[in-house]
Structure 1
């Protein structure tokens, strides 16, 4: 962390030196303060629209670099004054909002230094390519703007990589390359187009157009952020729901989901085969080996059922080594055939597991109880599950590794 702080101070010192060197060509005029105020106002407004990515203990802010166009207009000295005021306003806001982190001032020096340095280099590149920073009508204008935007993006990523290397958040070349890849061509094009138009309006002294572009960009950014947050909230909600209804060992549905699906399917006019099944003599497997091997067998059983079921069938782990299947769109005979095929697949399978430092092959069987509820039935699914569970017990009593089935009597 000490090296990162020193690096941040070094960047700030270089930026201060660059600003001091350019003070001779800088004119502190009313026009400068006008654009200074416009940029500061909208930069502060845009601050909460920035996307923050976290890597380890470090946060990276991604957003459009508006300092590029201001730097092309005001030069290194004017840009330094702006970055100083803008970054100080950010620190003050976070202090008042109590969201500041312990490295807030180190981040302040880093941000001022890095943005002044990268935009100053872009300023000189643009001036050289466009034959003078004020030549907004030249044929090379947009080429120079694009090159400047590309250069600032590269320098920004490079300084972040150096910072991460000092923090030991990046240890390999591949990790550094992955960070460079996060900056997309679309982001660079957006930076070039926005800053190109902003500088064009400054050069033409069209400040109302400049404000209009800022407002348009703000509304577009706010709309995109709102949409992104809505999508993220929906994804998180779906993930939480999936976690609540998923068995973590096997990845199939859990008993909570079974209660939900029983309620949703009640009153439906479709035939349903309710199958309750479990692994025969599972306690012997746990006692002979251990619970880790037992879990491996349970996962194998669940994977076998998932692979055998149709897309609209439902696999539920109802507890321990017991599972419930809801077979849809089949006749009673089809359900019996399905269970028989599944029984044979399980019987013929071999589960590979590690035990005592060696590989062991485990064979197991399963018993099945199936209750078939006809279409339009008035029998509750919960009652059908109880019938299937009793039929499973019957198959166990008859010797295991077999199927016991019954169908609902048709009135």
Structure 2
């Protein structure tokens, strides 16, 4: 009989208080899903889900009677968030699907554990555990799949995908994270066959799941399989083999430079080096203004003819420039760029507009234009000290005044 390890999160007093609220003479509460899966794999557990036959209204009543906070986060689908001290858990009443349309589900509450497990996506996510004894309950072979590194849908893959089209992307994400070797053929074939159904999902859901996939340590193989299977045709038709090659190159460089994964940077690698295309994708995925600006900067300056590292970092920021050089195709160029930025902080331009007025320039357009020319030369000369910056200012202000007199 499989047992849940007795790890620290199970001994939390707050979590114990939540579990105690749900105990009764019938079948008590059980941990379910990611917490059970990750604990069995020896991974850190962050999100704790609890399944119970107790109805949502009764769950809320019991928590409040015990002095614990209850938040009806998904009450229509049977989910209540419980807070006790530093513990947080999502409590969901056992369910069965009444109807689904690939985006939303109408559920009915149940007292049947296997019926609840049958509506979940993958076998490794349908594992339950008794909070007290640690006994693991497995209805669809999830334990064996977890040991084998096999991510597969419960029952008929096509039926599971029809219930929620986002499960196509989730399949590739979970295989990237937990899979060993080739993906489950039946599951992969079903995802490819239903790829067009992804067009029915909201941009927000697609972007969220795509970013989760791209944030994993090494999503390259799954991304290649998604391209070959036509998955990107439905969600990001701009992605092609050149983009996948660029992603492979970026992943190698991230590892060499020991940089943390960046989902946004990896998305930039997948997209063509074209600001118009990048802007179109940003709008379609409804990315934040910050992410849109970052993608636009990377597309605009990605061409090898763009400025060298330090001048570029001065204009668009050190982090963006570092990312930009990670994306560039030439190996010697990206290494030189990162080397130039290491332990370097962009200096502050030492000349202000008032200093030009003191030198005789009339306040207005001439000041701003001359200041920009001075700054450009200062940057081109490698950010010299204040003495040299003032010498540049003297020279260019004199030239500007001479031109003004001639005019």
TM over 0.5, yes or no? Answer: no
Q: What's the TM-score once normalised by structure 2's chain length?
A: 0.24
Point out which structure has higher relative CO (alpha carbons under 8 A, 6+ apart): 1
Higher gyration radius (CA): 1
